[in-house]
Amino acid sequence: MSSQLNPGAQDLLLVIDVQNDFCAGGALAVPGGDEVVAKINQLAAAFAHVLLTQDWHPPGHSSFASQHPGHSPFDTMQLAYGAQTLWPDHCVQGSHGAELHPALAIAHAELILRKGYRAEVDSYSAFYENDRHTPTGLAGYLRERGLRRLFLVGLATDYCVHYSALDARREGFEVVLLLDACRGLDSNGSLAKALSAMRAAGVEIREDAA
Ligand code: VGL
Ligand code: ZN
In angstroms, what is the span from residue 159 Cα to ligand 1's centroid?
6
Tell how strand 149-155 and strand 11-16 pair up. parallel
| pLDDT beyond 70 at 90 | yes
CB of 163 shorter than 6 A to ligand 1: no
Arithmetic mean of pLDDT over the chain: 96
Q: Name 169's bridge partners.
A: none
Q: Give the pLDDT band (50/70/90) at residue 116.
A: very high
Interval 196-207 mean pLDDT: 98
At residue 62, the pLDDT reads 98
Concerning whether 39 is annotated as a catalytic residue, the answer is no
CB of 86 shorter than 6 A to ligand 1: no
In angstroms, what is the span from residue 83 Cα to ligand 1's centroid?
15
| pLDDT beyond 60 at 175 | yes
CB of 17 shorter than 6 A to ligand 1: yes
CB of 158 shorter than 6 A to ligand 1: no
Interval 70-84 mean pLDDT: 97
Q: Burial code of 56-90, b = ≥16 C-beta within 10 A, e = fewer? A: bbeeebbbbbeeeeeeebeeeeebebeebbbbbbb
Q: Which of 11, 17, 55, 158 is catalytic?
A: 17
| pLDDT beyond 60 at 1 | no
Concerning whether 115 is annotated as a catalytic residue, the answer is yes
| pLDDT beyond 60 at 14 | yes
CB of 182 shorter than 6 A to ligand 1: no
Concerning whether 21 is annotated as a catalytic residue, the answer is no
At residue 210, the pLDDT reads 64
pTM: 0.97
In angstroms, what is the span from residue 89 Cα to ligand 2's centroid?
8
Q: CA-CA distance, 83 to 70, in Å (whole number)?
A: 17
Nearest ligand for residue 85 CA: 1
At residue 4, the pLDDT reads 76
| pLDDT beyond 80 at 3 | no
Whose alpha carbon is nearest atom 6 of ligand 1? Answer: 160
CB of 156 shorter than 6 A to ligand 1: yes
| pLDDT beyond 80 at 50 | yes
In angstroms, what is the span from residue 8 Cα to ligand 2's centroid?
31
The number of beta carbons lying within 10 Å of the beta carbon of residue 33 is 27
pLDDT tens digits, residue range 25-34?
999 999 999 9
Q: For the chain, how big is the Rg over CA atoms in Å?
A: 16
Query: In degrees rounded to 5, what are phi and psi of residue 191?
Result: -70, -50
Contact call for residues 57 and 66 (beta carbons, < 8 A) = no
